Amino acid sequence: MHRKAAVIVAPMTRDGKLLLIRQERIPIRDCIWEMPAGQIDTPAPQLRAAGNPEAERAEIERVALRELREETGYELAPGGELIALGHYFSSPGFTDEFGYLFLARPVEHTVQGDDQEESESIIDCRAFSIEEIRTMIAQNQIRDANTLGICARLVARGFIAFNPR
């Protein structure tokens, strides 16, 4: 199955907390905590066909920042950075979809607030400490592949540490 590429953003506040959104997901009939994410409208082959890697990267980063703002009401603070963490395949036995992973730090509230699309059912956005996120993963409160994948990448790259109990 062919799917558009996606972006997944780990928004980090100045005090080192990560923002999660709580979103209603109809296919699983549940509301779950997850990182902000969204699809890239321009297909990857079309971006690559232009032969301009900088333009491709800029478009992917633009979508990541848009999703951050739309879903959380936060944006990069002045002097903040959007750090590319690579990409992963969401379900390679079923689809060619992959997600670009980003760390956005530090983030702050936008003046305008969020700008959710009508099709989204985001019911909450909160900042969690790294320890709270570790506990949520251990207790199966965080269950989506995007969030689990980006947390693993953040740990592997040394941006966060899950302290054992």
In angstroms, rounded to a whole number, what is the distance separating the alpha carbons of residues 150 and 86?
10
- The per-residue pLDDT for range 105-163, each reduced to its tens digit, is 999 998 876 565 566 689 999 999 999 999 999 999 999 999 999 999 999 999 999 98
Q: How far apart are CA 72 and CA 9, in angstroms?
A: 11
Q: Note whether residue 162 is domain-resident.
A: no
Any domain includes 1: no
Task: Let me know if residue 163 belongs to a domain.
Answer: no
Average pLDDT estimate for 36-50: 74
**Residue 75: strand, helix, or coil:** strand
Is 164 a member of any domain? Answer: no
Cβ density class 35-52: b for 16+ within 10 Å, e for less: bbbbebeeebeebeeeee
Whether the pTM exceeds 0.85: the reply is yes
Whether 103 maps to a domain, the answer reads yes
Q: Is the dihedral of CA 58, 60, 63, 65 positive or negative?
A: negative
106 prior amide bond cis, ω within 30: yes
Tell me what the mean pLDDT of segment 32-43 comes to.
Answer: 88
Q: How many folded domains does the chain comprise?
A: 1
19-29 pLDDT, tens digit per residue, is 999 998 888 78
SS3 148: helix
* Residue 161, domain member (yes or no): no
- Residue span of the structural domain in which 40 resides: 6-156
The confidence score (pLDDT) of residue 34 equals 96
CATH code at position 36: 3.90.79.10
Looking at 19-33, 34-48, 70-84, 109-123, which range is the least confident one? 109-123
